[in-house]
Chains A and B, each alone.
Chain A
């Protein structure tokens, strides 16, 4: 546990997080009394520190970055680069230059698919994706496949809903150039064993990209311990602003990759004959970046680290367990399997009630959940489901929210199942 987290716990939050107390940090709950927000996997609510901090930045310190000679621009640049350092620490990257700001996880994955992809992948090379992936970790690889004539290989889930590691190992071969895998699956919460996947992939010389969109807000991330080559996550799911995210890439990989987009900020010198590209990470940040977004993300990271990511993981894991038990205890409710480990996401079916009807009834009870395919249509297809209802957890949720969900499900059953 970090020293800051220790300090906070001494201050009175106790050894475990107190969601009711934390709720006061999120103004949305003041403005929506009684809201039971169980859709953090879609996007997290924002703490006051982020909302006010971004507004304050605009009031006091705003100017374009990396350009101005004047002090205000220097200050803005300093804050922007400080946010990069916060991201580096957040995921324990070795070097600030390994952190590229993007619009989010989707753009981070697309950056790799568009830059690293065509430069290092050719005909008949193989990309492995898993059945657990969000569309954003499938479609960019399909596009790359079609561009360079590579093959897309799909690693299946097993009967329990976890990644089938035996099959995954068999699919790996010297032809495998990349494995793209989620850290926490957005549709079911399943956690494939990413560290093992990285080790196995590296034995075959393949690179590994990890989609950390759902993991980053829920657990400590250490890209060096994971050993992954790329890691992508989003600001808005990490209690920060939307429109910002980050790509981590190992330095030698990023160095060898061509720029993806051209424009200002990514160049050193430009003549009509030749352009010399800027150094990392600016080579990949063409145009004026989302300056306030980056600063907001830095503030969200400060907030999460102040609470302690290990304590956040404990909270998420305990509440996930409570949620599974509470839902499984309801007659007619089936929680969709996620294999051996799951974090922060509960996908379920209620017999005789379509997820959309259920979500409408839950909304009338002020319970906000997601109903649908969760941008994971191939996984839904494999599970034989057109749609599920998904409750996902955040810092501000506690057992009472799960109890409210269960009570609202019962009310829906009274209406639909007779």
Chain B
């Protein structure tokens, strides 16, 4: 990454709000190493007890889809409504299904 020597590399921050919850993306920070990345993430994203657990991931390690290719990329799922329970017709009076 350019300018890494003056501003450190960029990391993406994920926060788990409480035990058992998913880790959610909060934003990014700059840090020279993992330990500094975790400390900076704590100081920047959890000043008000927003989370009890953090992940930091180097930004350049993330691959992402783009909106322009969204339709084509996700269309395999478009015609598979039979993957949802409501696709199936149950005989009248059936219960607990």
> Are the chains A and B members of one assembly?
no
Interface of A with B (CB < 8 Å)?
A: none
Interface of B with A (CB < 8 Å)?
A: none
